[in-house]
Structure 1
Amino acid sequence: MRLGNAYAYCKPSQNVGLKLDLLRGLPGYVGHATSRINRLENQDNYSVKMMRSWPNAYGSALNCSVFDGHGKKGAQLSQLLANKLCSSLDCREPSWGKQDLMRLVQEYARRFPEGNYWKHKLATFDRFYDKFIKNCNSKQELLLMKEGDTTILGQNGGRMIFDKMGNIIDKIALLTELDRLRLFYGFAKFDLDQCCDLGTAAGSTASSIFLYPYDDPSMPTDGGKDDDSWIISHSGLLKLIVTQVGDSKIILCDQDGIAHALTTTHHTNSSRERRRLSLDPSRLDPDAFGETRFLNNFANTRSFGDVAGKPYGISSEPDIFSFLIGNTLHLPRSERSKLPFNGDECFLALVTDGITNMLTDQEVVDLITSTVNSWGLRKATPQFVAEETIQFIQAIASKHSDNATCLVIRLSNWGNWPNVDRTGLQRETKLMNAQSNETKLN
């Protein structure tokens, strides 16, 4: 199956369900829905794209992203990101390197001289580059994998995966230095060149996945580098790259129906973020809603835009996570446990905080799986369950509830989770409480 060169979709600003014909033909593989809920404007945006030139060695990659805008021009900024951010990464082998990133940090320091954040990053640039880009020894991958399997960890935190003959396929991190440099540089360059021009009245989170076939010799290939049939067939292992700026979440459902958060939120309650920003917790006071804000204004410690916070560390530097997931048909049974989630995962969900402020990760997963269990696989496609998720949020929302966006990406084990709803009672209670509150108001 060839999907062509124009498989892409970005949500329009008017919150209208515009779709390209090719995306209409894939509701069983990628679902998407959004709503302003009870806000005057929907500042959420999202995009679904096929990337043709990155990662260059593997042909096409499916890119899905959610963006949660804030501020007077938040919708404009999140739309800009949906239209252009990941497309700006989709280029042939870049010619820039470490010195280009250093010059970009110098430009940040020149443009935002008020705080010490960029001056400090420039002064410690070599150490920063070696740790987070060259060697990728931040251990972020390890923090999100199963604990206790240190014997199968590779040299730089990657998992050791073996072919049928016992030969090591991949013993290092799944991303190369160039891959990580492309993401760091690309995000920071886009933020400085395009997002900061919108002024102080715009900011946005950005959470993305890049999904593409693993270069596995046991995986059958049918059509060459431009063949996108892997989206449909799921015939082998896949590389999943996750980037995170802000607090929109990416959740994976494993073969047992268990939710796994693939991202960590960038808030002041994170000790890692407090260290990065040199924050003293005793000096952080909660606002009227009980949420601690950075510089008495920002809910997130990383974002695109938010120019007023740029001198003090409100940056678009992404957390980068890499995982090996997918169909384990061609993997020896003895090696499946060495995958981070044991393989044969069911789906991915990308959701903004309008959903995660009201539902736990497991509740999001159980809402999707129980919907499929109730309606059946023919009816309950990823498109159907994404829409049902938004409708549930609308049903339990209060008058202050935020915009909500949900993307659902089908994986190899879709529909084969256990027929168990672990959080059904909690969701039912939330629905009954919302109905009770509405009755009292009327």
Structure 2
Amino acid sequence: MKIAPSPIKPKVPPPPGDPSVFYFGVFDGHGGEDCSRFLKENLHTYIEEGAKNFGLGKQEEPDECEKIRHDTQEELVAQWRDTVGGYFRRFKPDFGPIADVEGVLMYAFLRADMDFITKVGTGDEGESAPETIDNGNKTKANPFKGGSTASIALISTATATPFWNPSTSATLITAHLGDTRIVLCSTETGLAVPVTTNHHPSSPAETRRLRRYATAFVSDSFGEERFGVLANTRSFGDVSQKRLGVSAEPEITRREIHPAEFSFMVLVSDGVSATLTDQEICDIVKECKTPDEASKELVEFAEEVTTEGDNATAVVVRLGGWEKRGVGGEGYMGTKDLRAWRRDEALVGSRGRRM
């Protein structure tokens, strides 16, 4: 299941001059919708509470606050080792400075994942038996089934001026697991700028990480490499694969965005990115009048030119260069002929299948 939550809305409007932070996310569930729904409803709360509890943004912090952060981090790692074991018995996640945004995001992702795989679910009786957590010493029932990939983006400005204002600088921080994807479009060149990388067994970084803890990589009947039973090496949930090394540790990036440097940002599930290239995604958006129209067009085009039938989700976010999105490079023309050919090929194929 693919779910994209709306930006976080503060309970009380910030006073004039206060900075703003906006949150966007796409979650791609598998093995059921429990995990993606849990993330949609709760992940932003873990981030907000983590930032508050760890004193993010405070200029001066007492020693007691530092001790609380350290103890909380150690408690989470200990829970992983006791509950899941396997990978986390041999590896301690790198939280970095927990008072930084990156540290808070790392903690929030792991805390959310731990809560998901250990707390009581809401499934109806009579459903298939839940997965189990087997860390070599004991086995516990996991009431939640399946898992989810995730890509989230936090966009902040130094003042209350919104990030989509052409004269405003902003900071973009992303946290990412699996093969959902975030792409920016350069206003000057019109080219796609990928922000995330797919966490697949074929990724050199993931291969190096996992071969330290596992010996079996397999290829399925389509030639796609898998680690355990999954195509992704990082995800929420998927508790039966956690002890092998599948992790909820996010890949985190930070980018300073200059005024009107990028025209828009796109967050997509692999139902879109496995069918369209990053540049095709950007060129389709350039043709549309609004971000909402662009999101719908991306999904419709991806579903039209593929027969695999994977659900597709897209979220398009307007940035400072939106009004000039068709100016840089070849505009939307760069992949226009390719997209027209793909649409024609899909139409011919569908006619053949009907016969």
Query: TM-score, normalized by length of structure 1?
Result: 0.65
Q: Does 1:133 align with 2:41?
A: no
Aligned residue pairs, count = 309
Any gaps of 5 or more consecutive residues in structure 2? Answer: 55-67, 122-129, 132-144
After superposition, what is the alpha-carbon deviation per residue over 1:75-122, rounded to whole angstroms, capped at 9, x for unaligned?
222111111111221236214423322221111111123x2x11111x
| One-letter amino acid of the structure 1 residue matched with residue 269 of structure 2 | T
Q: Following the alignment from structure 2 to structure 1, what is the Cα–Cα distance between the partners of residues 225 and 337?
A: 30
Q: What corresponds to 1:242 in structure 2?
A: 174
The 1:275/1:66 distance shift into structure 2, 3 A limit, reads same
Matches within 5 A, 1:181-192: 181-192=103-114
Q: What corresponds to 2:323 in structure 1?
A: 415
Matches within 5 A, 1:92-107: 93-95=52-54, 96-107=68-79
Q: Following the alignment from structure 1 to structure 2, what is the Cα–Cα distance between the partners of residues 280 and 60?
A: 42
Q: Following the alignment from structure 1 to structure 2, what is the Cα–Cα distance between the partners of residues 275 and 403?
A: 31
| One-letter amino acid of the structure 1 residue matched with residue 116 of structure 2 | Q
Partner SS for 2:113: helix
Is the contact made by 2:284 and 2:332 (CA closer than 8 Å) also made in structure 1? no
Matches within 5 A, 1:335-346: 344-346=261-263
| One-letter amino acid of the structure 2 residue matched with residue 270 of structure 1 | S
Is the contact made by 1:97 and 1:181 (CA closer than 8 Å) also made in structure 2? no
Q: Following the alignment from structure 1 to structure 2, what is the Cα–Cα distance between the partners of residues 285 and 408?
A: 35
Q: What corresponds to 1:119 in structure 2?
A: 89
**Greater displacement, 424-433 / 304-313:** 424-433
The 1:253/1:232 distance shift into structure 2, 3 A limit, reads closer
Matches within 5 A, 1:68-217: 68-71=28-31, 73=32, 75-91=33-49, 93-95=52-54, 96-113=68-85, 115=86, 117-121=87-91, 125=92, 129=94, 133-134=96-97, 177-197=99-119, 199-200=130-131, 201-213=145-157, 215=158
- CA displacement at 1:196 relative to structure 2: 4.6
Matches within 5 A, 1:25-36: none
- CA displacement at 1:52 relative to structure 2: 4.0
Q: Following the alignment from structure 1 to structure 2, what is the Cα–Cα distance between the partners of residues 361 and 411?
A: 17
Query: TM-score, normalized by length of structure 2?
Result: 0.81
Q: Does 1:354 align with 2:291?
A: no
Q: What corresponds to 1:265 in structure 2?
A: 198
After superposition, what is the alpha-carbon deviation per residue over 1:273-297, rounded to whole angstroms, capped at 9, x for unaligned?
12222269984221012211111x1
Q: Following the alignment from structure 1 to structure 2, what is the Cα–Cα distance between the partners of residues 422 and 281?
A: 43
Q: What corresponds to 1:278 in structure 2?
A: 211
Q: Following the alignment from structure 1 to structure 2, what is the Cα–Cα distance between the partners of residues 194 and 59?
A: 32
2:294 to 372, 385, 405: 385
1:62 to 8, 11, 22: 22
Partner SS for 2:197: coil
Q: Following the alignment from structure 2 to structure 1, what is the Cα–Cα distance between the partners of residues 234 and 214?
A: 17
Q: RMSD value over aligned CA atoms?
A: 2.4
| One-letter amino acid of the structure 1 residue matched with residue 293 of structure 2 | F
The 1:112/1:322 distance shift into structure 2, 3 A limit, reads same
Partner SS for 1:367: helix
Q: What corresponds to 2:345 in structure 1?
A: 433
Is the contact made by 1:292 and 1:299 (CA closer than 8 Å) also made in structure 2? yes
Any gaps of 5 or more consecutive residues in structure 1? Answer: 1-42, 135-175, 216-220, 222-226, 328-342, 373-379
- CA displacement at 1:60 relative to structure 2: 2.8
Partner SS for 1:50: coil
- CA displacement at 1:236 relative to structure 2: 1.5
Q: Does 1:312 align with 2:244?
A: yes
- CA displacement at 1:190 relative to structure 2: 0.9
Is the contact made by 2:213 and 2:244 (CA closer than 8 Å) also made in structure 1? no
Q: What corresponds to 1:35 in structure 2?
A: none
